[in-house]
Homo-oligomer: A and B are copies of this chain.
Amino acid sequence: MSRVINGNYPVSDDLRGRVQQAMEQLEYHPNAIARGLRRQQTQSIGVLIPQVNDSYLGMFSHIVEKTLFAHHYRALLCSTEESLEKETAYIESLLQQRVDGVIMFPRAHSRQNVERLLKQDIPVVMIERKLPDLPVHHVLVKNYEGGYIGMRHLIDLGHRNIALIAAYFETYPISERIQGALDAKRDAGIVLNPEDFLSIKSEERRFEIGYRLAVEILKRPHDRARFSL
């Protein structure tokens, strides 16, 4: 009897006892599928991440999973692998799965996918990316401040020749950090040397290129602090 399991209706102790005993004997496990169909609610949240296999994102997904678990929700972790195609396929899957909500950590331009979710009235939380004109929740880090503080720290340490390496420099969180860093430089009255800003194109493998650029910088004359965003 559903009333015993959910405890949202008055039930006599006698009946409850008999039902519970029967449940144990039959090794009965409530069918979450049928319940989801009836209640139109699945207690599951889609979590889209560029790659689970990454220290920062792994930490992020872990804490999300842990929190959802504690609130009796299940996280459907979806590794998009930076691919918009896979993200789209996963969105379709989550739509069919009738998830109660979606948390997105997008790298690519996922606007259309977000719109598809909203059209089906599925709440969306965006991490570290802005979609100001859409009714979604945002979780944003103080990127500008981070960039500013980081650069400021190096300046306070006495460094003056500070180069900047950035990937995805045209996208939201990074552009903010860069702006913060550049502003810190400007506020300290340090000349902005264009050759000190090295960007990595999005298509390139970021790790290797970052390494190569760093090596190049270190080959330059003078003492230089490095700063990677």
A residues touching B (Cβ–Cβ < 8 Å)? 27, 29-34, 36-37, 42, 51-55, 58-59, 61-62, 65-66, 69, 74-77, 79, 81, 86, 89, 92-93, 95-98, 119-120
Contact = CB atoms under 8 A, between A and B. Distances in A.
Contact of A33 (B36, B61, B66): B36
B119 A33 contact: no
B33 A97 contact: yes
Contact of A120 (B29, B32, B69): B29
A31 B96 contact: yes
A58 B52 contact: yes
A96 B61 contact: no
Contacts of A74: 76, 93, 97
A121 to B, nearest CB: 12
Contacts of A52: 52, 58, 61-62, 65, 77
B51 A62 contact: yes
A97 B32 contact: yes
A76 B69 CA distance: 13
Contacts of A92: 29
A119 B26 CA distance: 11
A78 to B, nearest CB: 8
Interface centre among A33, A66, A92, A96 (most CB of B within 10 A): A33
19 contacts: A29-B95, A31-B98, A32-B93, A33-B36, A33-B97, A33-B98, A37-B37, A52-B58, A52-B61, A52-B65, A54-B58, A58-B58, A62-B79, A65-B79, A69-B86, A69-B89, A74-B76, A75-B77, A76-B76
Nearest to A116: B27
Nearest to A65: B79
A37 B33 contact: yes
A34 B37 contact: yes
Contacts of A81: 66
A62 B14 CA distance: 49
Nearest to A77: B77
A27 B62 contact: no
Nearest to A97: B32
Contact of A62 (B53, B55, B65, B89): B53
